[in-house]
Amino acid sequence: MKKVVFLKGIFAILLLVVSCEYPIKVKVKNAEPLLAVDGWINNQDNTQIIRLTSTLPYFQNTPAPALGGATVKVLEFDANNTLLNTYTFQQVSNGNYEANFKGEIGRKYQLQLTYQGENFVAETWLKRVPPIDSMNSEYRKARLGQPKGYYVNVFGRDIPGIGDFYRFRVWRNGVMFNRPENLTIMSDQNIDGLPFIPPIRISFNPFFDSNGLEPYKVGDVVRAEVLSIDENAFRFFEQLSIQVNNSGLFARPIANVPTNVQNTNPRGKKAVGYFYASAVSSREITIQKDSKEDEP
């Protein structure tokens, strides 16, 4: 009898625990919209683009409003901080501002923009970048966590001298892998002057995609890029990666990623986003048939 009563007591407690579930509605106050800057200077394109948008409330899942009517300039300095050029950007569409020039390695670039009476500045350096020595592709049979298909390896070597930071990007048939898990960066702190380690060499493949993106196929055109970034940009992307991949049992509280875009008036409106510069090295291959695919 005691055992029956005891079991009934446990059942009652479990029922109470299971039934005590209440939906919670999180109330988030809508903060004042902020200027969001997406600025990138590089040594490849003849046309540099800076995009300005506005932030949105946290639960509003719509495209960010583009901002027009801003004045945008980029100043170019040499290593001795001597002003070399001033580039004025023209608004070509709502939110997009363009200027025609190529960035130079070893130069500092300063963004100066004015929007609705507020003045903002940001600075970055265009650093050196190593070449991509080679790329190859191979067919792999299915294994744990990796479906069968074609995969690429990208080979390169860090330039000797500590203090280099990189971002890696990849395209398949003209479409860039741009999901949170595809944000790959590297510091040469522990691999100065060494070849790219395996996690970097294989990061140009889609099998890291949690949504089941398929491996490469014969005929796919794969383009790999290595972008140099300065240390501040590396820290920005590092924090951005933490936030966009922030989930699970041990997720951290959500927070804005620090920006290098500062209002010249400390009491003025804040901004978000980032302005950075890169030298770019790239390589492209077309996936060819591998005889391993026909092996049993």
pLDDT tens digits, residue range 153-198? 999 999 999 999 999 999 999 999 988 888 899 999 999 999 998 8
Same domain, 173 and 289: yes
User: Is 100 found in the same domain as 46?
Assistant: yes
Q: Is residue 65 part of a domain?
A: yes
Same domain, 136 and 97: no
Same domain membership, residue 177 and residue 53: no
At 87, is the pLDDT very low, low, confident or very high (cuts 50, 70, 90)?
very high
pLDDT of residue 29: 67
Both 81 and 167 in a single domain? no
Average pLDDT score, the chain: 87
On whether both 200 and 77 belong to a single domain, the answer is no
Distance of CA 94 to the CA centre of its chain: 23
Rounded to two decimals, the pTM is 0.84
Is residue 232 a contact partner of residue 147, using CB atoms and an 8 Å limit? no
Same domain, 97 and 150: no
pLDDT at site 179? 83
pLDDT-derived band at 65 (thresholds 50, 70, 90) equals very high
Q: Are residues 195 and 259 in the same domain?
A: no
The whole-number average pLDDT for the span 51-57 is 93
Asked, for residue 238, whether it belongs to a domain, the answer is no
Average pLDDT over residues 60-69: 90
**Domain housing 260:** 35-127+253-277
Residue 94 lies in a domain: yes
Among 36-45, 102-111, 210-219, where is mean pLDDT lowest? 210-219
Q: What is the pLDDT of residue 251?
A: 64
Between 3 and 61, whose confidence is greater? 61
**Alpha carbons 161 and 208: distance in angstroms, whole number:** 31
pLDDT grade for 28, boundaries at 50, 70 and 90 = low
Q: What's residue 17's pLDDT?
A: 46
Residues 149 and 115 in one domain: no
pLDDT in tens, 209-268: 455 678 999 999 999 999 999 999 999 999 998 887 776 656 666 777 899 999 999 999
Q: Are residues 55 and 95 in the same domain?
A: yes
Residue 97 has a CB neighbour count (10 Å cut-off) of 24
> Number of structural domains, the chain?
2
User: Looking at the domain assignment, is residue 145 inside a domain?
Assistant: yes
